[in-house]
Structure formats: structure tokens, C-alpha cells
Amino acid sequence: MLIGYARVSTDDQTLNPQIDALKSAGCEKIFTDVASGAKTERPGLKQALEFCRSDDILIVWKLDRMGRSMSHLIKTIQMLEQKQTGFQSLTEKIDTTTAGGRLIFHVFGALAEFERELIRERVKAGLKSARSRGRKGGRPSLSKQTKNMIATLACNKDLSVKQICEKLNIGKSTFYKYAKITDDFI
């Protein structure tokens, strides 16, 4: 069975072009979502994945409609492979039911893994370089003078928390962390 999945990010967008393309491809059942690609919770995709059986093919109009990221997309395709379900992307012409489609998809997976490794190596090198210059990483801590200034200004009834934060170039959470505030201040 050919199963379609369509997604748009906002209510302002329409699913119609995707649904039309999926119907033209022969999809008998179509699941949809109106949700940002970054959202983890997408009930339509979950239903589509649960609906898929052996020898079914899940079809999307475009790869970015299915995966939040390349790693998410790869995990989803691997899960479909375990269920012996195929995957097709109409726009990119990827079809994991063919040897060539599987090859292309695995090349994508290898490139994504390579990119993750490069990022990991750059982060490690950056941390090592910073440590060699005496940096420990993380946010710089406030000086004792700034901490004392926060406590002093917190007692000043003429300044709001916002004004104090702007004056010291700190965030509200930092202010509340170091301010010795009494109930009459708030």
C-alpha cells in the first residue's frame, strides 16, 4: 500500500499541493500535520509510521516534510527498513525500494555522520585551545565588585530591576541570583 505524509509549518499554509502530489503518486491513505519541522510531537507522522506494514511504501512530497534534521530523517528511515517498509521522496526522487535509492540514502547518512564528527572534533579542539590559554569554558563569572553592586542597587527603591540590569549589563536571572532582596523590594 502507498501511504502519504504531508506537513505544513503554520495554519496560514495549505496542504493541498502536497496532497495532490501524493494522490497523483497513487497514495491510498494520507496522514497530515500542521506543525513546525522542529517540533518533536507530530501526531500525523506518528500515525503514518504506526500504520505502515511490511511491503508498504511511505511517500512524502519533499524530504524536509518528514525529518526535523538529517539524523532524525535517517533514524526514521532505519525504523521503516526494520518494518520492511519502503520510503520515497517525490521531489528528490529518492526511493529506498531500489538499490540506487538505498545507496543515495546511505550516502546521505554517511555525510550526516561525517558532519557530526567534524563538529565534535572542532568543539574538542576549541576547548583544548581555550584551556591552554587558561580558560575553563562556560560563561565568565561576575566579579566580586559587580556582585556587591547588585546587592547595593537592589536596595535602591528608585531603580527598577530592568534599569539595574541595563546599568550593569546583566540579565534578570543573574540579578535575582545575587540580589539580597526583601519582600518590601518586590
**Catalytic annotation, residues:** 9
For residue 8, give the 3-state DSSP assignment: strand
Q: Count Cα neighbours of 145 within 13 Å in the Cβ-side half-sphere.
A: 1
Spatial contact of 67 and 7, defined as CB atoms under 8 Å apart:
no
Distance from C-alpha of 20 to C-alpha of 25, rounded to nearest angstrom: 9
- Name the E strands within 11-167: 29-34, 57-60, 86-89, 94-95
Nearest to 97 by CA among 142, 52, 33: 52
Burial of residue 158 (CB within 10 Å: 0-12, 13-18, 19+) is: exposed
